[in-house]
Amino acid sequence: MLLPDGPKSPSIWQMFQWITRPFSFMSSCSHHYGDRFTVTFNKKFGPLVFFSNPEALKVILTGDDSKLFDAPGELNTAFEPLLGAQSVIGLSGDRHRRMRQLLMPSFHGERMRSYGQVIQDVTKEVMNELVAGEPLDVRKIMQKISLRVILRAVFGLNEGPRYQQLELLLANMLDKMSNPWKVSFLFFAILRHNFGPLSPWASFVRNRQQIDQLVYDEIAERRNHPDDSRTDILNMLLSARDEAGEALTDSELRDELMTLLVTGHETTATALTWALYWIHKLPAVRKKLLTELQALDGPSDPNVVIRLPYLNAVCSETLRIYPVGILTFPRVTRSGLKLTGTSLEPGTTVVGCIYLTHHREDIYPDPDEFRPERFLERRYSPYEYLPFGGGVRRCIGMAFAQFEMKLVITGILSCFELALADTRPVRPVRRGLTSGPSPFRMVINDQRVTNYLLRRKSLIVCKPISIRLSNLERKL
Ligand code: HEM
């Protein structure tokens, strides 16, 4: 098969590099072979062509809804052990379209904005649990926030033993998932085997069974006691009907709920962790953001917060510089075609490389520099800036994730003065199937902690932002 050039090393070595240091692997390939190159991670999957040219991405991502490309779920089997065979991520064609139609309404317009209060409450709740003056593992805190948010949005649960057990088990499972070695079975199907009770696969299966039991119990209880007044995603999915009038089965529901819990939690937690890092690493960024937040009139109205231009630019730049999802899901050519000068035969598997596209010098001058202003100075096309992918598999939770990022950042900066605990460099590393920052710590400024404890004593969780920021402004 005629394919663009790429590394000639054995596929096992390419896979090893892809798992252990994906960013330098991609940069080195693009340096040697340009904005299209072919890699081979394993013989069974075959060659994979990486594209990072916006013109090519436009054809790939608009073509996946036409006769040019398929977006087959069968190629996303790495997710199957976790999400199940009926997850929207693993479905193709009409079944995929049907599932998206059933899921999408939960993430639109008014419905999505109704989660605003949940996000603000959870942010306060988790931040108020923190111990004064101690170095904090930011990622753990962001994970706690995003897990509680998605659990409440999905199940409408916020108390009781089932909720507590689910939170604990999911946190435990997803924590393990962050280590590429502990989840090597996601990359190598041959490792999906019980090598003894302590083996990663056996422990994963045990953990998953416990989670499944709780999810099925919740589904059964909801079916037995329907309550139309509930506004959570599970309720919506229970009453959803496809074009043929069919409802989702229990196992379909389980797989979609797991999909939303996993995709909706890990990705947003990573994006928030990066955002807090950049905001506190770069004093000028923090100062501009605080000035914008200070101008808010009274307690933050989610509808106002989502429109703040500098906050939007900070979130966009966070998702540009080190995108959480490095690649789009694979697409496959239906027939032979020429893509920006490259001939592709039918059946060629291609991916949009989000990271390399976001690092093109011609679109983003000084691409390694964190500069939110670039998003105020110009607009980027959906093929130049695509942290959520595009086309028929574009991220279902895109609006939800952006909304959550903005509300959590506002909630934290409005009530707490944080600082990086040390000057160690933070770099992007692989986290299971996605990427994220290497671990770092932050501290809550002592003065702030005192104020914060006083506020708790007097039961004022959060004073109006304009008063609290005036002290901080003087220091800046
Ligand atoms: C900052 C946060 C997030 C990022 C960066 C992100 C990124 C992505 C990317 C790159 C894709 C692949 C798109 C493609 O192949 O074209 C994707 C798909 C997906 N995302 Fe997200 N995502 C985020 C948050 C969320 C949230 C909050 C949810 C749900 C609650 C979610 C659910 C999904 C689902 C279900 C898919 C698969 C869609 C399909 O196969 O049709 N994501 N996401």
Mean pLDDT check: name the lowest of 87-96, 131-140, 192-201: 192-201
Whether 389 lines ligand 1, by a CB cut-off of 6 Å, is yes
Output the residue whose Cα is nearest ligand 1's atom 3: 267
Location of structure tokens 């689910």: 166
| Integer CA distances (angstroms), 211 to 78, 85, 361, in order | 19, 16, 45
Whether 394 lines ligand 1, by a CB cut-off of 6 Å, is yes
Whether 147 lines ligand 1, by a CB cut-off of 6 Å, is no
Q: Tell me how far the alpha carbon of residue 27 lies from the centroid of ligand 1, in angstroms.
A: 23
Closest among 72, 70, 57 to 342, alpha carbons compared = 57
Whether 268 lines ligand 1, by a CB cut-off of 6 Å, is yes
Please tell me the predicted confidence (pLDDT) of residue 225.
92
Indicate the helix (H) or strand (E) that contains 256: helix 250-281
- The pTM of this model reads 0.90
Closest among 278, 294, 263, 337 to 69, alpha carbons compared = 337
pLDDT tens-digit readout, 271-328: 999 999 999 999 999 999 999 998 887 667 898 999 999 999 999 999 999 999 999 9
Whether 390 lines ligand 1, by a CB cut-off of 6 Å, is yes
Whether 330 lines ligand 1, by a CB cut-off of 6 Å, is no
Q: Tell me how far the alpha carbon of residue 198 lies from the centroid of ligand 1, in angstroms.
A: 32
Whether 264 lines ligand 1, by a CB cut-off of 6 Å, is yes
Distance CA 256, CA 248 (A): 10
Whether 271 lines ligand 1, by a CB cut-off of 6 Å, is yes
Whether 318 lines ligand 1, by a CB cut-off of 6 Å, is no
Q: Tell me how far the alpha carbon of residue 82 lies from the centroid of ligand 1, in angstroms.
A: 15
Output the residue whose Cα is nearest ligand 1's atom 27: 264
Segment 151-155 mean pLDDT? 90
CB 391 within 8 A of CB 61: yes
* HSE value, Cβ hemisphere, 13 Å, CA-based, for 389: 20
pLDDT tens-digit readout, 393-410: 999 999 999 999 999 999
CB 405 within 8 A of CB 271: yes
Whether 388 lines ligand 1, by a CB cut-off of 6 Å, is yes
| Integer CA distances (angstroms), 30 to 6, 228, 229, 356, 456, in order | 9, 53, 53, 8, 53
Location of structure tokens 């409408």: 156
pLDDT at 97 over 90: yes
Return mean pLDDT, the chain: 87
Output the residue whose Cα is nearest ligand 1's atom 13: 389
Burial of 219 (0-12, 13-18, 19+ CB in 10 A): buried
Pairing of strands 331-333, 69-70: antiparallel
Whether 222 lines ligand 1, by a CB cut-off of 6 Å, is no
Segment 260-265 mean pLDDT? 90
Higher pLDDT, 15 or 297: 15
Mutate to test the pocket of ligand 1, among 388, 400, 405, 433 (most ligand atoms within 8 A of CB): 388
pLDDT at 434 over 90: no
pLDDT tens-digit readout, 220-261: 999 999 888 888 999 999 999 988 899 999 999 999 999 999
The SS3 call for residue 167 is helix
Segment 265-272 mean pLDDT? 94
